[in-house]
Structure 1
C-alpha cells in the first residue's frame, strides 16, 4: 500500500518488561519500565518515560507509551 507506514518497534528493544495482569496499576507499570530502563543503562529515558507517563489521561495511553518505549511481554 502506498503511503502506509510500517509499524515500528519500541525505542529501546534491548529492554524487556514483563507486565502482569495481576498488577496493572499505573504506578507499578511506570516503576517496572523505569527500573528496567535504568538497569539497561538508559537513566535519561527512565526519567523522560516517568515524566510523560504521569501526564497521560488514561491507562490505555500508558500502555501504548510503554509498548512504544520497551519490549513488553
Structure 2
C-alpha cells in the first residue's frame, strides 16, 4: 500500500454524506486547515474531479489518510 502525500492528515469519510462533492469538500477543507497551499489544493481538486467516483476515492487516499 502506498503512503498518502499527507499521511499525518486523516479525513473521516465513512459515516458521512457520500456525495462526490461532499467528499471532495471534506478533503479540500482538511488540506486547507492543514496549511496546504491554495495551488496544491487546486491540484487535488483537479485530479479528484477528473474521473469517476471510484477515481475520486482513490485520489483522496493518495492525498490523505482516509477512514
Identify the TM-score tier after normalising by the shorter chain: 0.7 to 0.9
Unpaired runs of 5+ residues, structure 2, are none
Q: TM-score, normalised by structure 2?
A: 0.86
For normalisation by structure 1, the TM-score amounts to 0.80
Largest Rg, 1 or 2 = 1
Which segment drifts farther, 63-72 or 16-25?
Answer: 16-25
Is the alpha carbon distance of 1:40 and 1:21 closer, same or farther for their aligned partners in structure 2, counting shifts above 3 Å?
same
- Listed as ranges, the matches of 1:1-73 within 5 Å are 7-43=1-37, 44-56=39-51, 58-73=52-67
Q: Runs of 5+ in structure 1 lacking a partner?
A: 1-6
Larger helix fraction of residues? 2
Structure-1 separation of matches of 2:8 and 2:64: 8
Deviation at 1:64, TM superposition (A): 0.6
Q: Give RMSD over aligned pairs.
A: 1.3
